[in-house]
Amino acid sequence: MNKYFSALALAVTVVTATFSQNVIAIDIAAGEQIFSANCAACHLGGKNLIIPEKTLAKDVLVENGMNSVDAITTQVTNGKGAMPAFGGRLESDDINNVANYVLSQSESGWD
């Protein structure tokens, strides 16, 4: 019986360690700093100074299929249209943080 519990505990530990390595930590404060340094020139306050109708407001993100961390991450990494690609300039954790920041700000109305 003791062997059974030891094997079960080992299996749980291995599975937990495997899944925890695949989880990316989210740091909204770091995302805000990255946004301020790299994005605010065009997107201050969630606006868009280049293409005014493509703001970072929640309804606009939904309308353009950009209302998920994955979609925003892809846009920031690869760029599109007038938006440059930041994949070569920012680390993937930084892009993940800024994507989460943008999504959280869109939810709160960029106040």
Domains of the chain: 27-108 (1.10.760.10)
Q: Which two tokens stand for residue 79?
A: 């760029």
Predicted local distance difference test score (pLDDT) of residue 20:
43
pLDDT tens, position by position, 44-89? 999 999 999 999 999 999 999 999 999 999 999 999 999 999 999 9
Residue 22's pLDDT band (boundaries 50, 70, 90)? very low
Q: From the CA atom positions of the chain, what is the Rg in Å?
A: 19
The answer to whether the CB of 34 falls within 8 A of the CB of 103 is no
Identity at 62, one-letter amino acid code: V
Which phi and psi angles does 106 have, rounded to 5°? -65, -35
How far apart are the C-alpha atoms of 17 and 11, rounded to whole Å?
10
How far apart are the C-alpha atoms of 62 and 47, rounded to whole Å?
15
Predicted local distance difference test score (pLDDT) of residue 25:
79
Quick check: 9 pLDDT over 60? no
The owner of tokens 């999504």 is 103
Predicted local distance difference test score (pLDDT) of residue 62:
97
Residue 3's pLDDT band (boundaries 50, 70, 90)? low
The answer to whether the CB of 45 falls within 8 A of the CB of 84 is no
The mean pLDDT of the chain is 86
CA 17 to chain centre: 23
Question: Quick check: helix, strand or coil at residue 49?
Answer: coil
Residue 45 DSSP class:
G
pTM for this prediction: 0.78
